[in-house]
Amino acid sequence: MEERITLQVARYRPEQESKPTFEEYEVPLREEWAVLDGLNYVKDRLDGTLSYRWSCRMGICGSCGMTVNGEPVLTCAAFLSDFAPGPVRVEPLRNFPVIRDLVIEMTDFVHKLGRVKPWIVADDEAPPEGAHGEYLQTPEELEEYHQYSMCINCMLCYSACPVYGLDQSFVGPAAIALAQRYNMDSRDAGNALRMAELSGHDGVWGCTFVGECTSACPKGVDPAGAIQRYKVTAATEAAKSLLLPRAAEK
């Protein structure tokens, strides 16, 4: 007889209930199965109405973030056997409105991401110097931002962040880490453009360094470190503009 484990899955069907309830499903407990495999089993065999997001199954796409036994995790990387003998409680990511079952509404995050301009802003006065018109970069320059470039926009950090939970206007960990990913890129000239967003009212100063974003990050990005580093940058720039107002304008 195959071993089984119980999933307690949050269900929210807005057409029939005003708040989430839990439903239990028994799924096979296989060594190689992640929580996502258990959910796929439920969807395929037990209850086709269950809604959740997923795509790559290998920790790259950032779609399958959920709250498992109270922790924000990628369900493709959380193995059922680690929760044996169960039950395993699967809920949507915290700090986000829920559309249905395990599917959260992420428009707020997507807008914030756009606001920090997470792309290379070219400097028109310093064209690429490579022989074929490409930007050149040393391994040391790559090392500066490489860690931050690993972000997969999975939003686990927003789910773990109590500041974002209490004040949704906070730009939040991933958006700031991604802004830093470009600020620290030697090819980028967009530092000043991002400053208003990052050092403004809803920017880095909202962070009180709880550090849970870094603990939750499945890719080792360290958003908390990025935010603290940007605080130093923002404070230095503010001091500069106060002491040397003309130099800051240039």
Partner 1 sequence: MSTSTDPGFQARLYRPPVPRFWWARRRSYLLFILRELSSLFVAWFVAYLLVLAYAVGQSESAYQRFLDWSANPFMIALNAVALGFAVLHAVTFFQAAPQATVVRLRGRRVPPTLLAGPIFAAWVVVSGFLIWLVVLA
The reply on whether position 216 binds partner 1 by CB under 8 A is no
Give the residue from 64, 134, 60, 55 showing the smallest Cα distance to 92: 64
Q: Which of 28, 59, 87, 211 binds partner 1 (CB under 8 A)?
A: 211
CB of 232 to partner 1, least distance (A): 5
Q: Which of 1, 2, 16, 19 binds partner 1 (CB under 8 A)?
A: 19
CB of 108 to partner 1, least distance (A): 9
Question: Rounded distance, CA 41 to CA 57, Å?
Answer: 14
Q: Which of 186, 200, 215, 248 binds partner 1 (CB under 8 A)?
A: 215
Backbone angles phi, psi at 84, to 5 degrees: -65, 145
Ordered alpha helix ranges (H), the chain: 35-41, 107-115, 139-146, 156-160, 162-166, 173-183, 191-199, 212-216, 223-243, 245-249
The reply on whether position 138 binds partner 1 by CB under 8 A is no
The reply on whether position 181 binds partner 1 by CB under 8 A is no
In the shown chain, the binding pattern of residues 151 to 170 toward partner 1, with x for contact by CB under 8 A and - for none, equals -----------x--xx----
Backbone angles phi, psi at 249, to 5 degrees: -70, -25
Give the residue from 157, 25, 169, 171 showing the smallest Cα distance to 93: 157
The reply on whether position 89 binds partner 1 by CB under 8 A is no
Q: Which of 21, 84, 97, 240 binds partner 1 (CB under 8 A)?
A: 97
The reply on whether position 114 binds partner 1 by CB under 8 A is no
| CB-nearer residue toward partner 1: 119 or 209 | 209
Identify residue 181 by its one-letter amino acid code.
Answer: R
Look-up of token digits 């269900």 = 11
Task: Classify each residue of 55-70 as buried b or exposed e, where b means 16 or more C-beta atoms within 10 Å of its C-beta.
Answer: eebeeebbbbbbbbbe
Chain residues that interact with partner 1, rule: CB under 8 A: 12, 14-15, 18-20, 70, 94, 97-99, 105, 107, 140, 162, 165-166, 208-212, 215, 224-225, 228-229, 231-232
